[in-house]
A and B are shown apart, each in its own frame.
Chain A
Amino acid sequence: GAVVSQHPSRVICKSGTSVKIECRSLDFQATTMFWYRQFPKKSLMLMATSNEGSKATYEQGVEKDKFLINHASLTLSTLTVTSAHPEDSSFYICSARVPDTTDTQYFGPGTRLTVL
């Protein structure tokens, strides 16, 4: 299957700093990537849809100025959590859609963000 990587796997930062998370499709080109957030014992919550070469589409309630998404190439999307606060601590997961007729999404391994 298609491989999606995420970096870093975990990050601890101080409140007020910004953190960048990278999502890469390793063996295919992804025009569309998705960013999710998972709270403990909850399902995945879609934050935004990242489209290569254009602005991301954010879900209702997600602050676009806080969660900056850049999809500069067909294999890389980045999520930057700006001015992070403890309530931003969570598990962030990206996925990339394989552009075939089935449009299956393949997920990265996730990034555990802890804001002190």
Chain B
Amino acid sequence: DQQVKQNSPSLSVQEGRISILNCDYTNSMFDYFLWYKKYPAEGPTFLISISSIKDKNEDGRFTVFLNKSAKHLSLHIVPSQPGDSAVYFCAASWSGSARQLTFGSGTQLTVLP
């Protein structure tokens, strides 16, 4: 049972435009959500997170939106840059799971110059 889902395995966006990566979850106990960026043969790099008490968190070019009623979160990157090309994983956790992260399957973002 996949509790965190990223239904788009890949996304291509033109440089300078907005990239929107989506993530859905099924476990209503999740109360903390994170986005990680990963290059091949490297560990994931933390990008941004959001607590379930908020619906938006912004950090520079990255904004995460959380819709609890829809159990959906999204990561917006604007403007997109070629260096943003990587695999993006969303992850979720809750206090009852010892804060273990449950990862989505990832979305490969390609920003075209």
A residues near B (Cβ < 8 Å) are 1, 4, 6, 32, 34, 42-44, 46, 49, 57, 91, 93, 95, 97, 102-110, 112
Contact = CB atoms under 8 A, between A and B. Distances in A.
Contacts, number: 53
Contacts of B100: 34, 46, 49
Interface string B47-64: 001010000000000000
29 contacts: A4-B43, A6-B43, A43-B89, A43-B104, A43-B106, A44-B44, A46-B100, A49-B98, A57-B98, A93-B43, A95-B43, A95-B101, A97-B99, A102-B51, A105-B34, A105-B46, A105-B99, A105-B101, A106-B46, A107-B43, A107-B44, A107-B45, A107-B46, A108-B43, A109-B42, A109-B43, A110-B41, A110-B42, A110-B43
A4 B32 CA distance: 21
Query: How many B residues are at the interface, by size bracket?
Result: 20 to 34
A107 B36 contact: yes
Contacts of B104: 43
Nearest to A106: B46
A111 to B, nearest CB: 9
Contacts of A105: 34, 46, 99, 101
Interface in B60-99: 89, 93, 98-99
Given A43-B103, A43-B104, A103 B32 contact: yes
